[in-house]
Amino acid sequence: MTLQKLLSYTRRAVDDYKMIEPGDKIAVGISGGKDSLTLLYALHGLKRFYPNPFTIEAITVAVFKDMDFSPVTALCQKLEIPYTVVPTEIGEIVFHERKEENPCSLCAKMRKGAFNEQAKILGCNKVAYAHHKDDIVETMLMSMIFEGRFHSFSPYTYLDRMDLTVIRPLLYVPEADIIGFKNKYQLSVCKNPCPADGHTKREYAKNLVCQLNTENPGAKERMFTAIINGNMAGWPQK
């Protein structure tokens, strides 16, 4: 995927759901993985020509000690984007103190809390997550299987307790295109040291979606269309 195609996807999502308004200051969550680095490129590129002027701040919540985010630091310096790393004890608490059997939920909750708090400190009114098209479908399937409801990430969500709006500008970007973008532009991805990586319910859902799409070509796209057009609770209308 070229940068031009990435910006086209991003502009479409931002326009469809009116994600960005004039004067917004957007905190971009950076894990160091391919998705968040692609999001950083997307918003940096969009900022140059989008009619609603906005600024961005990059924030990393360090879940584990001694993680090396120097490639992200170098990228942010290259793109002239302010970058903040928030050190935490989340990994220690989740995996060693609490010894959570299913650590993802608590870890995500603590990461979001630390990220949102830092966003407020920096004066941001919106936060951007790097959830992409495949994430939307996989989350819907997980919700149906494990929770018995038709639900997935919304393109944007207002957090009234924090007075922050979450936006998901990569809504229309397939994961395969993000992988292509990472390879084409040689993004310096930081290795994920999480012990649960690859052994989660999300990984199960990802494999299931892949199987369904292989056996029924186009199934993944049809599931995404069902989400977009399904009047799902919490989803804004275009």
How high is the pLDDT of residue 107? 77
pTM of the predicted structure, to 2 decimals: 0.91
Q: How far apart are CA 64 and CA 95, in angstroms?
A: 10
CB proximity list for 88: less than 8 A, separation 6 or greater: 61, 62, 63, 110, 111, 114
* Strand ranges in 32-175 using DSSP code E only, listed in sequence order: 54-62, 83-87, 126-128, 156-159, 164-167
Domains parsed from the chain with CATH numbers? 3-228 (3.40.50.620)
The string of pLDDT tens digits covering residues 140-165 is 999 999 999 999 999 999 999 999 99
Nearest to 158 by CA among 235, 106, 56: 235
Q: DSSP label at 102? A: S
Residue whose tokens read 């170098």:
74
How high is the pLDDT of residue 96? 64
CA-based end-to-end distance of the chain: 26
- pLDDT tens, N- to C-terminus, the chain (238 residues): 999 999 999 999 999 999 999 999 999 999 889 999 999 999 999 999 999 999 999 999 988 777 888 999 999 999 999 999 998 877 677 776 665 666 677 778 888 888 999 999 999 999 999 999 999 999 999 999 999 999 999 999 999 999 999 999 999 999 999 999 999 999 888 776 666 665 678 889 999 999 999 999 999 999 999 999 988 877 887 6
CB proximity list for 68: less than 8 A, separation 6 or greater: 190
